[in-house]
Amino acid sequence: MAAVVAQRLLKPSQVTGKASYELCEMGNLLRLLSRDDTPKYDVFVDFENAEPSESEEETYYIVQDVLQHSRDILVELQTYKGAGSEIREAIANPRSEARQMKAWEAVLPLVSKLKQFYIFSQSLEEVVPRILWELCSGPRTPREHLETQQALVKQFAEILDFVLTFDDLKMTNPAIQNDFSYYRRTVSRLRLANQENIEDGLEVPNELANHMSLFYAHATPMLKVLSDATTRFVAENKDLPIENTTETLGTMAKVCQRMVDNREICSRFKNEETILFVLRVMVGVIILYDHVHPQGAFTKTSHIDVKRSIRVLKEQPPNVVEGLLNALRYTTRHLNDETTPRNIKGLLA
């Protein structure tokens, strides 16, 4: 299974012009044959150019202050090479002080990066409830939220896209956990050697290191942060029915599905890569919904038409969406439940 999970989620820059055309055109026969055209979900969300309205500005700029660092985080993670060679040399030569020092010096800047990633996850966790409150509370319907708060919807979509991308990169890079494990083992040895002042010079104090260990132990740590933040948002806002949150997520998934499925809406995008972005957001919403809703996304009573969403994915070129299908297969929580219809399991088999 790990080998399948390791298949990369194709990035927008890899979508060719031909693939973009196919994203809008392939498989529309299924949609035309379907009796339910779901016109109420034909909403165009301007993921390319949405700007905040006056009522959105306060939350928008708070969230943007966090999101502006997301691209740098992904670049750092994408170029993360690890200190595997130095660590192996140190382990193979335990009496060599020079090799121990070389490994330690190689690991320290990497641990600093891992600390940066973790701290960013905490910043993300802080803004998620704020943006959810704006999108889920008040008298508006979920569709009205998506139509009138497009800048915030765009930001939430960018958070989902970041989460999928970060977790994919982390999952395919074992050096991350290896480096941090070596760092913690070395610190433990120094403590046992009665170097009491060791804490003063550490990049990561012990308590923070414990939190980071728990974070990186998850196969999909950013998804864990996002789902926990959403679950906590629901629990802490008891006056806000959970249906407000789940229906908003469900509507967002359906709108994304229809934006790709509907040729007229799809053609309004100016950039080819936006179509794949919408597909990634659709998958991210499904996964988040499945983690947050007690019964998950795959039941017949779900607010998300998962079967249709999977078919929309399968209508696209396989090399474009295989990683997204794998994300549904292996990072959702309820796919293998007995309540999940066999036809949905079959679509993802």
pLDDT, tens digit (0-9, with 9 covering 90-100), for 250-277: 999 999 999 998 888 888 998 889 999 9
Quick one: CA dihedral 168, 169, 172, 178, positive or negative?
A: negative
Whether the per-residue pLDDT at 18 is higher than 60: the answer is no
302 CB-near residues (< 8 Å, 6+ apart): 250, 289, 293, 295, 296
Q: Alpha-carbon dihedral of residues 166, 171, 175, 179, nearest 10 degrees? A: 70
**277 with 47: CB under 8 angstroms?**
yes
**pLDDT at site 189:** 86
> What pLDDT score does 8 carry?
42
The span from the CA of 49 to the CA of 60, in Å, is 14
Structure confidence at residue 39 (pLDDT):
55
Mean pLDDT of 210-220: 95
In the predicted model, what is the mean pLDDT of residues 48-54?
95
Res 36 pLDDT > 60: no
The confidence score (pLDDT) of residue 34 equals 43
Please provide the DSSP assignment of 129-175 as one string: HHHHHHHHSSS--HHHHHHH-HHHHHHHHHHHHHHHHHHHHHHT-TH
118's enclosing H/E stretch is: helix 97-136
Q: What is the pTM of this model?
A: 0.86
Check if the beta carbon of residue 317 is closer than 8 Å to that of residue 22. Answer: yes
Q: Which residue has the higher pLDDT, 188 or 203?
A: 188
pLDDT band for 197, please (50, 70, 90 cuts).
low
User: Can you read off the two tokens belonging to residue 119?
Assistant: 């701290």
Q: Per residue in 216-253, pLDDT tens?
A: 999 999 999 999 999 999 999 989 988 999 999 999 99
Domain count, the chain: 1
pLDDT band of residue 30 (cuts 50, 70, 90) is: very low
Pick from 239, 222, 282: nearest CA to 257: 282
Of the two residues 188 and 128, the one the predictor is more confident about is 128
How high is the pLDDT of residue 310?
A: 94
Q: What is the pLDDT of residues 103-126, one digit of tens each?
A: 999 999 999 999 999 999 999 999
Contact between 253 and 133 under an 8 Å Cβ cutoff? The reply is no
Domain span at residue 301 reads 2-347
- Least confident among 66-75, 145-154, 191-200, 252-261: 191-200
> Phi and psi at residue 19, in whole multiples of 5°?
-65, -40
Give whole-number Cα distances, 195 to 192, 203, 303, in Å: 7, 16, 57
Per-residue pLDDT reduced to its tens digit, 276-320: 999 999 999 999 999 999 899 999 889 999 999 999 999 988 888
Percent of the chain surpassing pLDDT 70 = 86
58, pLDDT greater than 70: yes
Residue-wise pLDDT tens digits, 158-186 = 999 999 999 999 999 999 999 999 999 99
pLDDT at 293: 92
144 alpha carbon, distance to own chain's centre: 25
Separation between Cα atoms, residue 241 and residue 158, nearest integer Å: 25
At 266 the pLDDT is 86
What average pLDDT does the structure give for the chain? 87
Residue with tokens 């999940």, as numbered in its chain = 340
Query: What is the model's pLDDT at position 4?
Result: 42
Whole-angstrom Cα distance, residue 155 to residue 50? Answer: 10
pLDDT at 21 over 60: no
Looking at residue 136, what is its pLDDT? 95
User: Is the pLDDT reported for residue 195 higher than 90?
Assistant: no
Find, among 267, 253, 271, the residue nearest to 312 by Cα. 253
